[in-house]
Chains A and B, each alone.
Chain A
Amino acid sequence: MKSYIFKIKYQAMLVWLATGLVLQGCEVDNIPDPNNPTVESVLNNATVDDLNNLVVGTEAGMRNFLGTYYDNMGVIGREHYRFSSADPRFTADLLGKGSSVLDNNTFYTTNPWAGRYRVVKNTNILIASVFNTTLITEEQRQGYLGFAKTIKAHQLLMNLTMMWEPGIRIDVDDPDNLGPFVERSAALDSIALLLEEGAGHLAAAGEEFPFSLSEGFAGFNDPAGFLQFNRALAARVAVYNEEFEDALGFLEDSFLELNTDFNKGVYYVFSASSGDVLNPVFVAPNSSGEIRIAHPSFIADIAPNDDRRSKVLEREEAASLDGLTGKYDVALYKTNTDPIPIIRNEELILIYAEANIQTGNTLEAVRALNIIRQGHGLGPYAGSVTQAALIDEMLEQRRYSLYFEGHRWVDMRRYGRLNELPLDRPGDDVWTTFPKPFIEEAF
């Protein structure tokens, strides 16, 4: 009898235990993302800290896939070779080797493109957030908007330089309902308009930004300074759009200085700090494997005494791959944390020269070109002062002054001179544009 009761007790306890397991919180707790803040968290009543994180992320994101972008521009523009023992497509597809063509679904097409739009998306979220918070002042709001629209314009322009023919999308606010592709000229107009709006916001943004930018914006990190950066970009857009009078106007409000302070400007900066990235195009001299070799024409064509020769460095041993050989390393950057220019005074002087050539002020153009020439150890310009001759000279100075900064291919293209770029192997091609990314076709 006793043992019977004992048994029942055990039984009851075990059944209770089992039931407990079943019933004990039949609910499952919703686990919020344990790893990252959600996008929704900044869209409602964001604090200055939230918005500043977006600003920093935006500036940081501008550097994504920059290495691929400079390789695309430089290799097609015959400024350098990108030798890669791991990826043959740099020397095949980009140079149009044999019957190779640019693929619409390969990293060189898709990665920089998506990288820039990722920043555009961040600026769009920043713009939406500042309109949906009561925790900032009106001046602060204007500051955020001025920053966001200027950077957005720059990022769109970067993509347009690759997608010269298919054009780009301007309206990308709603990922489920993307705006149409806009062809080049209209896209340039839209970018110019964005810069114009940005300039308006910056003018109303007071003395200080509520956020701080990196060292890359030193001297341009308050509304007034940032406005000069905005106007410099506007000048670049204007010459791309062949609106040369406008370009001269924008330059006046930019940081243009007609002197040899060529490197004054705005930069991408790099560091080895946590969550940061290193200069993606730095390669130590005389490396092998993954290297950037100056196109032989750079040294073949450079004038004696031109100090821009220092942008390349003779190798101890020549490098060869895939039927291509070069003796010089691209050596613009000496360490893996050297900054890369976004836009600098040397380009502004050259834009000034170009706009003056195109608007008939040839003497003023020669004066600007001579600042460049003399600043690099060359004598004053001694050639003909016809518009055609000066365009040749201007393009040549841009070639050396802006070497490996992503301009050569764009310049030769806008002047219809891609056929003047040298071909290294029979069957090589110079591309006019990157194709529209495969996935964009489907939407």
Chain B
Amino acid sequence: MKKHYPLKLLALLFWLVSVTAYGQATVSGKVTDAGSGMALPGVAVVVVGTTTGTSTDVNGNYSITLPTEQGRLTFSYIGYESRTITVTPSITTLDVQLTEKTTSLSEVVVTGLATSVKRTNAANAVSTLNTRELTGITSPQTMDAAISGKLVGANVVANSGAPGGGIAMRLRGVTSVFGNAQPLYVIDGIIVDNSTISGGLNVVTAAANQGNASNQDNASNRIADINPDDIETIEVLKGASAAAIYGSLAAAGVVIITTKRGTSGKTLVDISQDVGFTEAAHLLGVRTFTEERVISTYKDRPDLVEQFIAARDAGRLIDYEEELYGNKGMLYNTRLNISGGSEKTQFYVGGLIQDEEGIVKRTGYEKKSLRFNLDHEISERFDFSLSTNYVNSIAKRGLTNNDNAGVSFGVALSSTPSFADLFRDESGLYPDNPFAASNFLQTRDLMTNEENVDRFLGGLTLNTNLYNTTVSSTRLVIRAGLDFYNLKTVAIFPRILQFEQNGNQGTSIQGNNYNLNTNFAAFLVNDLSLGDDNLNFTTTIGATRENFNQDQVLTIATQLIGSQTNLDQSSAVTVDQTQLPVRNKGLFFQEEVNFRDRIIATAGLRLDKSSNNADVNEFVAFPKFSLAINLANFDFWTRESVNMLKLRAAYGEAGGFPPFGAKYTSFSPFNIGGSPGIIVPIQRGNADIKQERQKEFETGVDIGVLQDRVILEATYYIKTVSDLILVQNVPGSSGFSTRVVNGGELRNRGVELALSATPFDLPGFKWNSRTSYWVNNSEITELDVPPFPLGGFGNTLGTFFIEEGKSATQIKGIKGEEGVVVLGDAAPDFQMNFHNFFTIKENLTFSFLLHWKQGGDNINLTQLLTDLGGTSFDYDDDDDGDGVPNAAERTAALGVSAEPFVQDASYLRLRELGLYYTLPTAFLEGATKGIVRQVRIGASATNLFTITDYDGYDPEVSNFGGNGLSTGVDVTPFPSSKRYFLHFTIGF
């Protein structure tokens, strides 16, 4: 990951220098921000090759004595590009300007498994997010929340507002229907598991009706474990043209996360504390009952009319939605970062204690994370980087989403009117809810649904310089990564709950999920420079191994003894175990050629084998090619105002594994009378199953004007996925219901535009802005199986429908006489974001992120359930003025037309807003005698407002979780929340 290219700016300095001098040399000067001219205090200044170092004072001034008469000085500062400058005896004053890392074109982007290239030379539009964009505005609860709405080309949908996160992320559209649709995550070279493992709530909710497979349990994805504050940058390889280097793991894209590392110089200690609260972003409201309305809704129930009158007269009409979702949860985050080091050894320590409540009582998220990163230069020949991270997290997620037992919070709420009495009585008992299977207040107060994670991530990279000459250098990179976690899911439904008394009589569902991923890689990298540095070659050859082991054990105990929760305190126990071992081996070759930063070409090939493939020892090949031409670097380019004009094109292929086990036809266990039995599986195996193959071509132009004050990146891509893995519905009469087949082709085409600008860069006012626009269109170009529905609840309620020649995310359903027709599409028409950072008078920063999603439909069944339950807030209104009340009109459509349920889910959302004040350094210097380096206070908010016509808790919703393509199905989700914070940071 080293830079191979000399910094051009240095040329100027070399030119100024004359050569002779002797003895020690003292150099002093001032370090400032290259844009605003603001002084930078605390910049580390180190003499290269020594342990001599200092840091700048509050006014950005420094003075350092070099042990020799000449040498090199490195200036580094968090959030800025480091600079190394050669000092000669004639220099005694050296003022340095550092450039902030923003959309900086001098940053590097990944091009290979062990190589990278300057962004100015990249042939792919790699989206990058840095610390400021990720966590600089507010404190996101989880890593997945930190990227929502920020990535151009990505469609990121939060599954619900449940504490602990959970997202569906699509990079450049849907890339798989049944295969893995979630990107690969790599943190400091560690291939990180991002499973979504169900806690087995289906036992209680019966959401999936039968069997253990359930994807409606609203489980979080494991990437949520990562502390967002540890992240330095996120680079996103959105398609095969960039991601081919990861072969069969990369079909859905790759998210490469680099964590913060120490820099040599003074040890910096930062302690920050956030205090905040959260509340529901939007509640639907409840129906206002009157005597007439009770009579008309509950026919032949004079008892209920009396109950209503009694409740009304006693002032006991309760807004149960507010009661359930109206909790104001407190949010606390404490962070400690320590970084520093010497010339040879640098370290970074990041600690986090997070304790956040949810908008439903007894829900919340807790996390403890400790990171230790170490870089050490053993000798001129060897250096290594170590990344370690331990995380403990607890997500208490409540009971939401679809169910068929009427027990989840929202489903029970949907049929409970305001005159019901659900509160605990003096004896501590809860009355049964006569309007639903669950008294949700009792359920909320007594149930448990937790995900407890203990996770360790460790990565080690050893670099060896094998051979160096003036024109060639060869290094060996050996990398090992380890991701271990134990996820314990605990779902306890005590015997006393209304639905347990009538059912399982106490349920304790506990999952123990063991996950161990290890990955190893070794690369030989040769840099060759020919013709006076005019032609540079970078050659990589290497091998990779990945071992993935997952073992999920789910134990379900029912008929519990008293209020006991241990699995053995029960009279009935069932166990389900699933093991998912995968072994991959790969070979990798890549050649990068750079002609004077004018023409940059790359070719690469990855060969993969996997135990997931039908033929485990067949090599599957993934090629890639790319070309970038920097017109502005050619001699003929004379337009000074346009300092960059790059044309680029890239092509690559990547693969996607079939779902684990697709090649086997294996019996399922099914017992009766205490004897063990086996029955044919629901899914028929396919011994000929192949990987999905993604082929992507992308091309674009990058323009930088006014010394990169304005940068436009424009990209067009076309991406096809052939051998599409489909779970084909087969006739039930065959004894099977489904089969995994390769049966189609999917195409995504899209445009991405990103405009970065610094409209103002004055000493007193600086404004950085990034505006992005992206659009993607998908089409099933070929389908070898009959068209089929998936990811919904059938034609009556609206369902996704895979059909040749149509969008992959179209939604179909019945519509009166017309039969089954297209009713909508879940894919947005386009998305935009507007990301802004203002710095006023050096001390005050103000930033916000606006995200606009235009178009894209949801299947809103929450509204239908409240209509049927007689509790919709607009039940009795008549929006279209035709004399038929809303609810009657909508429910009348049930079984006739699914059109009312397919609703536009466009929104404009202020995702993040932050205001920070940094105390003047001069004041701090005086008040604390230099002990305190910086003090920053601030306030921020998440989801402050959302403008939408959508009649639901949140247009961002996914009942079926993150995988597959059926996001946007809305069945009584955990409502999403707003978050407000006060921040305090002190640095030493």
Verify if B21 is at the interface (C-beta below 8 Å from A): no
The answer on a CB contact under 8 Å between A325 and B522 is: no
- Which among B341-349, B360-368, B598-606, B609-617 touches the partner chain? B609-617
CB within 8 Å of A: which B789-818 residues: 789, 794-796, 814, 816
Verify if B99 is at the interface (C-beta below 8 Å from A): no
The answer on a CB contact under 8 Å between A36 and B668 is: yes
The answer on a CB contact under 8 Å between B684 and A175 is: yes
CB within 8 Å of B: which A217-250 residues: none
The answer on a CB contact under 8 Å between A322 and B896 is: no
The answer on a CB contact under 8 Å between A35 and B661 is: yes
A443–B785 alpha-carbon span in the complex (Å): 10
Distance from B232 Cβ to chain A, minimum over Cβ atoms (Å): 28
The answer on a CB contact under 8 Å between B865 and A89 is: no
The answer on a CB contact under 8 Å between B679 and A273 is: no
The answer on a CB contact under 8 Å between A118 and B795 is: no
Residue of A nearest to B893 (CB): A98
- Which among B58-66, B272-280, B406-414, B948-956 touches the partner chain? B406-414
Verify if B674 is at the interface (C-beta below 8 Å from A): yes
Distance from A230 Cβ to chain B, minimum over Cβ atoms (Å): 19
The answer on a CB contact under 8 Å between B677 and A55 is: yes
Residue in B581, B675, B895 whose CB lies within 8 Å of A31: B581
CB within 8 Å of A: which B634-683 residues: 661, 664-682
The answer on a CB contact under 8 Å between B381 and A214 is: no
Verify if A165 is at the interface (C-beta below 8 Å from B): no
The answer on a CB contact under 8 Å between A21 and B406 is: no
The answer on a CB contact under 8 Å between A275 and B796 is: no
CB within 8 Å of A: which B727-785 residues: 729-737
Given contacts A89-B895, A100-B895, A283-B502, contact A117 B735 (CB under 8 A): yes
- Which among A119-127, A199-207, A394-402 touches the partner chain? A119-127
Verify if A423 is at the interface (C-beta below 8 Å from B): no
Distance from B302 Cβ to chain A, minimum over Cβ atoms (Å): 10
Verify if B539 is at the interface (C-beta below 8 Å from A): no
Verify if B584 is at the interface (C-beta below 8 Å from A): yes
Residue of B nearest to A104 (CB): B795
- Which among A10-18, A136-144, A342-350 touches the partner chain? A10-18
Q: Chain A contacts of B894 at CB under 8 A?
A: 88, 92, 97, 100
The answer on a CB contact under 8 Å between A60 and B438 is: no
The answer on a CB contact under 8 Å between A214 and B404 is: no
Verify if B592 is at the interface (C-beta below 8 Å from A): no
Q: Chain B contacts of A110 at CB under 8 A?
A: 732, 737
Distance from A138 Cβ to chain B, minimum over Cβ atoms (Å): 24
Which of A59, A60, A113 has most chain B Cβ within 10 Å? A60
- Which among A286-294, A363-371, A372-380 touches the partner chain? A286-294
A375–B476 alpha-carbon span in the complex (Å): 90
Q: What 1/0 mask marks residues of chain B from 509 to 551 whose CB sits below 8 Å from any chain A CB? A: 0000000000011101000000000000000001101000000
The answer on a CB contact under 8 Å between A120 and B299 is: no
Distance from A341 Cβ to chain B, minimum over Cβ atoms (Å): 16
A186–B672 alpha-carbon span in the complex (Å): 33
Which of A27, A52, A336, A439 has most chain B Cβ within 10 Å? A439
Verify if A26 is at the interface (C-beta below 8 Å from B): yes
Given contacts A39-B667, A122-B680, contact A172 B735 (CB under 8 A): yes
- Which among A79-87, A303-311, A384-392 touches the partner chain? A79-87
Verify if A320 is at the interface (C-beta below 8 Å from B): yes
A120–B733 alpha-carbon span in the complex (Å): 9
Given contacts A100-B894, A289-B437, A290-B405, contact A29 B611 (CB under 8 A): yes
Residue of A nearest to B613 (CB): A28
Distance from A78 Cβ to chain B, minimum over Cβ atoms (Å): 18
Verify if A33 is at the interface (C-beta below 8 Å from B): yes
Verify if A269 is at the interface (C-beta below 8 Å from B): yes
Q: What 1/0 mask marks residues of chain B from 571 to 584 whose CB sits below 8 Å from any chain A CB? A: 11111011101011
The answer on a CB contact under 8 Å between A28 and B381 is: no
Residue in A114, A118, A212, A289 whose CB lies within 8 Å of B438: A289
- Which among B8-16, B427-435, B827-835, B839-847 touches the partner chain? B427-435
A288–B685 alpha-carbon span in the complex (Å): 41
A443–B734 alpha-carbon span in the complex (Å): 10
A84–B301 alpha-carbon span in the complex (Å): 19
The answer on a CB contact under 8 Å between B735 and A59 is: no
CB within 8 Å of B: which A1-44 residues: 7, 10-11, 14-15, 17-18, 21-22, 25-31, 33-40, 42
The answer on a CB contact under 8 Å between B676 and A275 is: yes
Q: What 1/0 mask marks residues of chain B from 673 to 703 whose CB sits below 8 Å from any chain A CB? A: 1111111111011000000000000000000
Given contacts A28-B584, A85-B414, A125-B680, contact A21 B896 (CB under 8 A): no
The answer on a CB contact under 8 Å between B575 and A274 is: yes
A29–B674 alpha-carbon span in the complex (Å): 36
Verify if B464 is at the interface (C-beta below 8 Å from A): yes
Q: What 1/0 mask marks residues of chain B from 389 to 417 whose CB sits below 8 Å from any chain A CB? A: 00000000000001111110001101100
Q: Chain B contacts of A322 at CB under 8 A?
A: 868
Given contacts A37-B678, A290-B404, contact A320 B735 (CB under 8 A): no
A214–B298 alpha-carbon span in the complex (Å): 45
Q: Chain B contacts of A336 at CB under 8 A?
A: 503
Verify if B947 is at the interface (C-beta below 8 Å from A): no
Given contacts A85-B406, A85-B415, A117-B733, contact A93 B502 (CB under 8 A): no
A7–B559 alpha-carbon span in the complex (Å): 69
Verify if A300 is at the interface (C-beta below 8 Å from B): no
Residue of A nearest to B684 (CB): A175
The answer on a CB contact under 8 Å between B578 and A17 is: no
Verify if B838 is at the interface (C-beta below 8 Å from A): no
Q: Chain A contacts of B730 at CB under 8 A?
A: 175, 439, 443
Q: What 1/0 mask marks residues of chain A from 56 to 93 whose CB sits below 8 Å from any chain B CB? A: 11111101110000000000000000001111110011
Verify if A168 is at the interface (C-beta below 8 Å from B): yes
Verify if B210 is at the interface (C-beta below 8 Å from A): yes
Verify if B93 is at the interface (C-beta below 8 Å from A): no
The answer on a CB contact under 8 Å between B404 and A11 is: no
The answer on a CB contact under 8 Å between B672 and A214 is: yes
Q: Chain A contacts of B19 at CB under 8 A?
A: none
The answer on a CB contact under 8 Å between A121 and B734 is: yes
The answer on a CB contact under 8 Å between B680 and A88 is: no
Residue in A114, A213, A274 whose CB lies within 8 Å of B574: A274
A175–B892 alpha-carbon span in the complex (Å): 41
Verify if B585 is at the interface (C-beta below 8 Å from A): yes
A413–B413 alpha-carbon span in the complex (Å): 40
Residue in A35, A60, A64 whose CB lies within 8 Å of B671: A60
Residue of A nearest to B466 (CB): A11
Verify if B255 is at the interface (C-beta below 8 Å from A): no
Residue in A36, A40, A107, A284 whose CB lies within 8 Å of B794: A107
Residue of B nearest to A159 (CB): B733
Q: Chain B contacts of A36 at CB under 8 A?
A: 664, 666-669, 678, 681
The answer on a CB contact under 8 Å between A18 and B522 is: yes
A387–B630 alpha-carbon span in the complex (Å): 98
Verify if B869 is at the interface (C-beta below 8 Å from A): yes
A17–B524 alpha-carbon span in the complex (Å): 12
Given contacts A85-B865, A273-B572, contact A111 B671 (CB under 8 A): no
Residue in B405, B578, B681 whose CB lies within 8 Å of A289: B405
Chain A residues close to B by CB (< 8 Å): 7, 10-11, 14-15, 17-18, 21-22, 25-31, 33-40, 42, 52-61, 63-65, 84-89, 92-93, 97-101, 103, 105-107, 110-111, 113-115, 117-122, 124-125, 168-169, 172, 175, 178, 212-216, 269, 271-276, 283-284, 287-290, 317-318, 320-323, 325, 336, 437, 439-440, 442-443
In the A-B complex, list the 7 residue pairs whose CB atoms are closest, starting with the nearest. A121-B735, A289-B437, A100-B895, A214-B673, A289-B406, A114-B732, A272-B572
17 CB < 8 A contacts A-B: A22-B542, A25-B585, A30-B611, A31-B583, A33-B661, A33-B664, A57-B667, A86-B402, A86-B403, A117-B735, A121-B734, A272-B558, A274-B572, A288-B436, A289-B405, A323-B299, A437-B732
Apart from A86-B402, A107-B794, A287-B437, 12 more pairs, CB < 8 Å:
A15-B466, A26-B609, A36-B667, A56-B672, A85-B437, A88-B894, A114-B733, A175-B684, A271-B674, A284-B502, A323-B299, A336-B503
